[in-house]
């Protein structure tokens, strides 16, 4: 979970919810279409993130290094607080 993006988490939860409702209802074709739509949305958004760095920065953010070569970078830590 910690390495998943927000979109991946939402899609996983949506798929789980959809499958939970599928066990109650007998509309398998509708459930299949919804699952395919969720997966396609996830693939398209991740593809756009890979191709356009500003979109990736906006949706995921950038990593901040706190320790480099065994030295704690206190200035970077202060920026986050």
β-bridge mates for residue 68, sequence order: 71
Phi-psi region of 67 (alpha: psi -120 to 50; beta: other; left: phi over 0): beta
Each residue's pLDDT expressed in tens, for the chain with a length of 81 residues: 567 777 888 888 888 887 777 666 667 777 788 888 888 988 998 898 888 888 877 777 777 888 889 888 888 888 877
- Domain spans in the chain, listed from the N-terminal domain onward: 6-80
Q: What pTM does this model have? A: 0.59
What is the distance between the alpha carbons of residues 49 and 38, in angstroms, rounded to a whole number? Answer: 17
């Amino acid at each position: 979970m910690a390495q998943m993006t927000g979109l991946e988490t939402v899609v996983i939860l949506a798929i789980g919810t959809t499958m939970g409702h599928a066990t109650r209802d007998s509309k398998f074709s509708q459930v299949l279409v919804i699952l395919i739509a969720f997966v396609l949305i996830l693939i398209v958004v991740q593809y756009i993130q890979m191709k356009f760095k500003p979109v990736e920065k906006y949706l995921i953010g950038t990593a901040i290094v706190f320790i480099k070569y065994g030295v704690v970078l206190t200035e970077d830590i202060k920026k986050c607080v």
